[in-house]
Amino acid sequence: MASNSPSPEGIDVPETPTAGAWGEWNPTEDSARSVRGKHRVLKQRGGLARSSTVLGVGVIAAVGAGGIATAQDRPQVAISMPSLPDLPDLLGGGGHASGAAGTDTAAPSGTAAAQSAGIPGQADGQGHGQADAGEALRHRILQQAESQQEAVETQARADAERTAREAAAQEARAQKEAADKEAETARVAAEKAAAEKAEADKAAKAAATTAAKAAEGGGSGPGAGAGTKASGGYSLPTSSYTLTSHYGDSGSMWSSGHHTGLDFAAPTGTPVKAVGGGKVTSAGWSGAYGYRIVLQLDDGTEVWYCHLSSMSVTSGTVGAGETIGRVGATGNVTGAHLHLEVRKGGSTVDPLAWLESKGLSV
């Protein structure tokens, strides 16, 4: 038998009966005192004990299942839980939950517990709030999508405008390059034309100078003499000439088998001059000689001017260097030239040697 012993606080605790003295001890509702506090022994019913803990777990489960996510965005409100007469029936027993009557419990609005407790307006408020939040989220998403679409379209328009400007600038550069190239080509052509014109003017001036000198009796071309006159009053028969056939040359072109004169090749129309002072004794057509002028000098020497294109003097007296006709290609010829013959006593002599004997450089 256990003895009584003082507790740490000095309170006597009755002895606990043992099985030997009392037999098996089985406390009942009448033999066990009600203990107030956090733990209470509930009457078993149907083999299952229920307590306030079961209610707490159920409330937590209901809150978690019904609206924890919604409760996080909404402020907590105090809910007063009134005493319900049929609460023991709801719990499945006659026990009393600790703090069930008149206890204020903080619970998120719109939870399943509040709905099961019959709190009016909570379910409707929760649904309306969720609908408003969803509509606001959808509206923000649509606005963001529209903003992004507008940004994409704006960027596309800017890119298209930039591409168009670049293409226009490139085309303008190409046109400018083509215009510059054409202008450069035109400038080169103009410069070339100007140079050719200058050369032509220079050649024309030189030809005019040569013609003027020829008219005066001077020569500057191949085979030209030193002047129209030499000491003793003699002059070369023409100017700007080239000697082609000499006296005594043989060939089938001459009827006598050999050349009887000296050929001065020159352009048609070149002036023909009297080699010395004398008298024109004959002027006209003479067969193979073509148009011919015969000039008899003061010493009796005859000078024949053959193949003339025209005759300026057909009779009368002339002085040395005076123009009496023009070079041509009449008669038996192969080209324009002056055939000059010198005859003494009716026989031909070498014109080149005769002219040089008069102090002329042929």
362 residues of the chain, pLDDT tens digit each: 444 444 444 445 555 555 455 555 566 656 555 555 555 555 555 444 445 555 555 555 555 555 554 545 555 555 555 554 554 454 444 444 444 344 444 444 444 444 444 444 555 666 677 788 888 988 999 999 999 999 999 999 999 999 999 999 999 999 999 999 999 999 998 888 888 888 777 777 776 665 555 554 443 344 444 344 444 589 999 988 999 888 888 765 655 567 889 999 999 999 999 999 999 999 999 998 999 999 999 999 999 999 999 999 999 999 999 999 999 999 888 899 999 999 998 899 999 999 999 999 88
292 residue type, one letter: R
Q: Are 242 and 265 in contact (CB under 8 A)?
A: yes
| Cα 290 to Cα 183, 221, 283, distances in angstroms | 58, 26, 11
Q: CA-to-CA distance for 264 and 251, rounded, in angstroms?
A: 18
Q: CA-to-CA distance for 287 and 292, rounded, in angstroms?
A: 9
The contacts of residue 148 (CB under 8 Å, 6+ apart) are none
pLDDT, residue 353, reads 92
pLDDT, residue 90, reads 47
3-class secondary structure, 14? coil
pLDDT, residue 265, reads 94
Identify the bridge partners of residue 291 per DSSP, sorted by sequence position.
285, 308
3-class secondary structure, 325? strand
Q: Are strands 262-265 and 242-243 parallel, antiparallel or unpaired?
A: antiparallel
pLDDT, residue 115, reads 46
Q: CA-to-CA distance for 237 and 98, rounded, in angstroms?
A: 163
pLDDT, residue 198, reads 83
Q: Are 297 and 276 in contact (CB under 8 A)?
A: yes
- Select from 56, 70, 52, 49 the least CA-distant residue to 113: 56
Identify the bridge partners of residue 317 per DSSP, sorted by sequence position.
279
- Select from 121, 79, 125, 120 the least CA-distant residue to 102: 79
Q: Is the torsion defined by CA of 271, 272, 275, 276 positive or negative?
A: negative
